[in-house]
Amino acid sequence: MADLAARRRVAVLISGRGSNLRALIEHCAAADASAEIALVVSDQPNAPGLEHARAAGIRFEIVDQSRRIELERYIKKSIQASDIEIICLAGFMRVLSADFVEAWRDRLLNIHPSLLPAFRGLDTHRRALEAGVRFHGCTVHFVRAEVDAGPIIVQGVLAVRPNDTPETLGARVLALEHRCYPQALEAVTSGRARVVNERVLIDGAMTPETVLLNPAP
Ligand code: GRF
């Protein structure tokens, strides 16, 4: 069992539903997890995802400042007060400043619903279908100032089906996200992931599943 005191303290930033937050909380409930979700921050007072924090008894803060400079000031205060070491963005719909991102370099993770660098930005599933790609998926990466860019930690890939709609495809990608994000966080908090020349190297036993999650169609 991982020493509870030695677990890395993680904050998760959300804006909405919080299903990735839930997956991260469930992962950290495992006796051998190397992370602990110590704080949840939402920029939306009514984010449904806050319920997951409440249910798990995790401290949460609402930072609904509209100006980015103030929002970031509040986030900084909250994460300092909770001794946070790693931040996970999970459906957090605000763009963080270059200064903030740089201060958390290689300690700030994001999940994006596409195989980056394809389909940065919003509405990824519709755009993937329009482009006619055969494979689609999700990416967990370290955040850089450029939006939806940065060293890739884990990607999950799945085959697009001929009759997929943005909704059916999005639902399968979301299920994949819930597997990829905990895996990426664990690689980081266990100290197995490091960034070398803007590439992520993961030490230890590498099975194909740790870099590519490809569920049967
Ligand atoms: C996910 O699709 C994530 O990839 C994107 O925003 C969505 C958040 O969903 N960044 P949830 O709030 O985690 O359910």
Structural domains in the chain, sorted by start? 1-94 (3.40.50.170), 110-210 (3.40.50.170)
**How do residues 32-70 score in pLDDT, each as one tens digit?**
999 999 999 999 999 999 999 999 999 999 999 999 999
Model pLDDT, residue 214:
46
Pocket (CB within 6 angstroms of ligand 1): 14, 16-20, 49, 90-91, 111-113, 138, 174, 177
Provide φ and ψ at 17, rounded to 5°. -60, -40
Q: How confident is the model at residue 72 (pLDDT cuts 50, 70, 90)?
A: very high
Model pLDDT, residue 212:
53
* Rounded distance between C-alpha atoms, residue 14 and residue 184, angstroms: 18
**Contact criterion met (CB below 8 Å) for 109 and 188:** yes
Q: What is the average pLDDT value for the chain, to the nearest integer?
A: 93
Which residue has the CA at smallest separation from atom 1 of ligand 1? 91
Model pLDDT, residue 207:
52
**Contact criterion met (CB below 8 Å) for 151 and 114:** no
Active site residues: 112
Q: How confident is the model at residue 119 (pLDDT cuts 50, 70, 90)?
A: very high
> What DSSP string runs through 124-142?
HHHHHHHHT-SEEEEEEEE
Helix, coil or strand: residue 115: coil
Model pLDDT, residue 210:
47
